[in-house]
């Protein structure tokens, strides 16, 4: 689909309808190749765009993504801990473009759901028949007093991979031995729910080797978290006495921060961090709100079978931005949603009834080199929401060989998901 | 892990409105749930919370089964003089906990 300032096809069709009867306009619509715009070139958006072309090579698919290079979040905690270079996280859209997808290196600034147009940052307007929103997350700065974009330069969230990842790594490298690293964890929903604990583990791995007098304090707005027993066992085994966690019911919820002093305030205490990793509350990427697809929660309600927005017509929402019930906001779940959404769109364009998706999601947590565990889930719509159909978590008691094998599987998994999306 | 968490400002000026925060670790079992074998899980909740300042009651709350686990109660009062806040939680199965905190009013 070409970026154009010409009259939209809808306008042309509308004009034609004045002459032709409505019944005649409809076959004309069906014959022309449908135009699908996908906003957001992460795992969900890239998987969706590619699946659309694979399912129907006639579709005109445009992927709208301002970054020319994608930086993947999975495994970025290893970059923070100095175990991996950021370049290993980065992928271009060359192969996506080679699939016949138009890659528009622009930000989407406006969506007009009635006119079915997207405005890009260069001012161009693009018409669509169906729009897929895969904008991921934005930080919800209003949700944490004292924290904003400027504060994130002092107290990095590192919850979108790239410059923030490197900033947190440099701060850890510059910290004196004996420093306190504080990780502030927001309440659910958040991107990649077990990642704060993986991060605590890998930072502990770095500190144990380089700055052994240092400590990590996790201030948590949750009481329980994914794979908690596995993490707690690993911490006792690998990093005894290094990681302390204060849960919600022990007063762990962070209520404000002061980037000038490094102070982090909870309902019941004040903490001064040498390095503060403040992960704020999140919401769907801003374009979802602009499009009218986000509700009062900041996230996007969807029909679980088709990913169609419940708020705006002809728009589908996938990945972290969607309210997807039991599905965690993770890379592989976003990719699975992208593929299922593509199938739903192709079916709808062909006038076929939707098929009920069955989505796979996997999530690996690496707590030290050669030590990983995982959660694998299958998710299906139940009533009006996604539910876990089957979830398998690594056994809590398992020999180190099992953890070693899972660490290798984690690398394979990363190669597979990044290959599917960008390779 | 302390069962009671209290946050009272250490210092205040006379006449200041101050916020007091409390959190008590408690299961708050409603009494409406059943086990797999069909037996009722007995109710086990905190039923009352009281705050006294220098012996005089300044805040009281009755708690009910709809209140979630680990009740977090926050309220405001006016700092009138230096003294001691005493907090008391009473509940089912003989549950009783107390805590205290001092404030200096200038």
Tens of pLDDT, residues A384-413:
999 999 999 999 999 999 999 999 999 999
| Cβ atoms < 10 Å from Cβ of A131 | 29
Per-residue pLDDT tens digits for A78-107: 999 999 999 999 999 999 999 999 999 999
Q: Using a CB–CB cutoff of 8 Å, tell me whether B6 touches chain A.
A: yes
pLDDT at A186: 98
What value does the mean pLDDT take over residues A366-393?
95
Question: Among A230, A267, A285, which Cα is nearest to A41's?
Answer: A285
How much of chain A, in percent, has pLDDT values that exceed 90?
Answer: 91
Contact A182, A219 (CB under 8 A): yes
- Please tell me if residue B7 touches chain A, with a CB cutoff of 8 Å: yes
pLDDT reading at A220 higher than 90: yes
CATH number at residue B66: 2.60.40.10
A268 in contact with chain B, both atoms CB, cutoff 8 A: yes
Q: Which of B2, B5, B6, B9 to mutate to test the interface with A (most CBs of A within 10 A)?
A: B5
Residue A117 · residue A126 · CB < 8 Å? yes
- CB of B70 within 8 Å of a chain A CB? The answer is yes
Report the distance separating Cα A10 and Cα A400, nearest Å. Answer: 60
**Cβ distance of A268 and B23 shorter than 8 Å:** yes
Whether residues B5 and A248 touch (CB distance < 8 A) is answered with no
- Asked if A251 is an interface residue toward chain B (Cβ–Cβ < 8 A), one would say yes
Cis peptide bond N-terminal to A189, omega within 30? yes
B23 touches chain A (CB under 8 A): yes
Q: What is the mean pLDDT of chain A?
A: 93
Question: Tokens standing for A206?
Answer: 């770095």
- Residue A268 and residue B72: Cβ atoms within 8 Å? no
Torsion angle, CA of A330/A372/A204/A189, rounded to 10 degrees?
A: 20
On chain A, the residues whose CB falls within 8 A of the CB of B23 are: 249, 251, 267-268
Name B24's bridge partners: B4
Q: Provide the terminal-to-terminal Cα distance of chain B, rounded to the nearest Å.
A: 33
Q: How much is the pTM? A: 0.89
Over residues B49-75, the pLDDT tens digits come to 999 999 999 999 999 999 999 999 999
Mean pLDDT (whole number) for A236-242: 97
Q: Which domain holds residue B67?
A: 4-105
Structure token pair of residue B70: 């680990």
**What DSSP element (H or E) covers A338?**
helix A331-349
Q: How many residue pairs bridge chain A and chain B with CB atoms within 8 Å of each other? A: 23
Q: Residue A415 has which token pair? A: 């190669």
Pairing of the two strands A180-185 and A215-220: parallel
- Is there a contact between A359 and A374 (Cβ–Cβ < 8 Å)? no
Which residue out of B10, B21, B87, B101 would a mutagenesis test of the A interface target, given it has the greatest number of A Cβ atoms within 10 Å? Answer: B21
Rounded Cα–Cα distance for residues A261 and A272 (Å): 8
User: A245: nearest CA in chain B?
Assistant: B1
Q: Does A4 touch chain B (CB under 8 A)?
A: no
Q: Do A267 and B21 touch (CB under 8 A)?
A: yes
Q: How far apart are CA A29 and CA B5, in angstroms?
A: 65
**Does A19 score more than 50 pLDDT?**
no
Q: How many residues does chain A have?
A: 423
pLDDT digit string, tens, across residues B76-90: 999 999 999 999 999
Q: pLDDT at position A32, please?
A: 75
Q: How far apart are CA A47 and CA A22, in angstroms?
A: 35
Full strand arrangement of the beta sheet holding B56-62 = B11-12, B96-105, B83-91, B46-53, B56-62
In degrees, rounded to 5, the angle at the alpha carbon of residue B26 between the alpha carbons of residues B22 and B29 is: 135
Give the residue from chain B lying closest to A247, CA to CA: B1
pLDDT at A221: 97
Most A CBs within 10 A among B4, B7, B24, B75, hence the mutation to make, goes to B7
Q: How far is B9 from chain A (nearest CA, A)?
A: 11
Q: How many domains does chain B have?
A: 1
User: Tokens in use for A83?
Assistant: 């175990």
The ipTM value here is 0.84
State mean pLDDT over A61-76: 98
Structure tokens at A161: 């991979």
């Amino acid at each position: 689909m070409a970026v154009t300032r010409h009259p939209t096809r809808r306008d042309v069709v509308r004009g034609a309808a004045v002459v032709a009867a409505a019944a005649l306009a409809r076959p004309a619509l069906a014959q022309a190749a449908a135009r699908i715009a996908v906003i957001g070139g992460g795992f969900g958006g890239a998987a969706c765009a590619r699946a659309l072309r694979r399912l129907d090579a006639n579709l005109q698919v445009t992927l709208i993504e301002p970054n020319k290079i994608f930086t993947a979040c999975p495994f970025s905690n290893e970059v923070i801990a100095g175990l991996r270079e950021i370049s290993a996280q980065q992928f271009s859209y060359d192969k996506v473009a080679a699939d016949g997808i138009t890659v528009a290196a622009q930000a989407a600034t406006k969506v007009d759901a009635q006119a079915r147009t997207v405005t890009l940052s260069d001012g161009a307007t693009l018409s669509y028949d169906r729009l897929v929103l895969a904008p991921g997350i934005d930080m919800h700065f209003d949700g944490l007093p004292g924290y904003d974009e400027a504060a994130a330069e002092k107290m990095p969230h590192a919850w979108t991979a790239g410059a923030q990842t490197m900033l947190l790594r440099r701060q850890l490298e510059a910290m004196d031995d004996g420093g306190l690293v504080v990780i502030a964890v927001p309440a659910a929903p958040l991107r990649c729910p077990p990642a704060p604990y993986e991060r605590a583990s890998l930072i502990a791995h770095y500190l144990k080797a380089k700055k052994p007098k240092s400590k990590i304090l996790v201030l948590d707005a949750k009481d329980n978290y994914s794979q908690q027993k596995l993490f707690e066992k690993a911490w006792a085994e690998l990093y005894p006495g290094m990681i302390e966690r204060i849960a919600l019911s022990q007063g762990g919820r962070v209520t404000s921060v002061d980037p000038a002093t490094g102070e982090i305030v909870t309902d019941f205490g004040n903490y001064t961090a040498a390095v503060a990793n403040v992960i704020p509350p999140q919401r769907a990427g801003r374009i979802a709100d602009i499009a009218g697809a986000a509700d009062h929660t900041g996230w996007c309600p969807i029909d679980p079978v088709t990913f169609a927005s419940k708020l705006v017509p002809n728009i589908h929402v996938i990945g972290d931005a969607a309210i997807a019930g039991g599905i965690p906001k993770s890379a592989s779940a976003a990719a699975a949603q992208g593929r299922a959404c593509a199938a739903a769109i192709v079916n709808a364009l062909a006038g076929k009834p939707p098929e009920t998706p069955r989505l796979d999601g996997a999530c690996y947590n690496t707590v030290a080199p050669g030590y990983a565990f995982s959660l694998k889930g299958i998710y299906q719509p139940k009533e009006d929401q996604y539910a876990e159909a089957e979830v398998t978590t690594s056994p809590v008691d398992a020999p180190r060989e099992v953890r070693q094998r899972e660490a290798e599987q984690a690398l394979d998994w990363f190669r597979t998901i990044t290959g599917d999306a960008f390779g | 892990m302390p069962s009671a968490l209290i946050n009272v400002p250490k210092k205040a000026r006379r006449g200041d409105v101050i916020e007091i925060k409390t959190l008590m670790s408690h299961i708050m079992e409603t009494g409406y749930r059943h086990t797999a074998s069909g037996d009722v899980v007995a109710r086990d909740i905190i039923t009352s919370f009281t705050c006294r300042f220098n012996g005089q009651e300044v805040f009281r709350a009755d708690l009910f089964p709809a209140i979630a686990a680990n009740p977090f109660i926050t309220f405001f009062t006016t700092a009138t003089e230096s003294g001691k806040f005493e907090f008391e939680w009473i509940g089912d199965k003989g549950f009783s906990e107390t805590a205290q905190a001092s404030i200096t009013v200038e």
